[in-house]
Amino acid sequence: MTEGTSGVALAGMSEPEFHRERREHGGASQRLDDDKLAELAENERVEAGLDDYNPDEVPPATDPLPPGVPEPRPNIRDEPEYQEERAEVRREEEAGELRDPDPFPPTRYDSD
């Protein structure tokens, strides 16, 4: 039993970090969750003092801009005109209408 009567985990005993599937054998799991492992590793780095904080736990910056600072320009890639032009370029590339120029000059020129 890993928990006392108050529901607190006993010293030195930890809860399982990963939920096990009953279809797997009792040994080490062959399919560990990479996201969970990365989160645990980052938390361990913070606890060990290697990192000051876990970047995933930092809230987004929501402070208003100071007076006199202009609003950032919108991303051009979000504009519908850009999306239409990009789609046209992709269609032309797939159709073979666009190709990269030959990086080497021809070895012979046609003489007229």
**Among residues 45, 36, 4, which one has the least CA distance to residue 17?**
36
Per-residue pLDDT of the chain (112 residues; tens, 9 = 90+): 444 444 444 444 444 455 556 666 666 666 667 888 888 888 898 899 888 888 878 777 777 888 998 888 889 999 999 999 999 999 998 888 887 777 787 777 777 6
d(CA 39, CA 2): 24
In contact, 10 and 4? CB cutoff 8 Å = yes
In contact, 54 and 42? CB cutoff 8 Å = yes
Res 77: pLDDT = 92
H, E, C per residue of 25-59: CCCCCCCCCHHHHHHHHHHHHHHHCCCCCCHHHCC
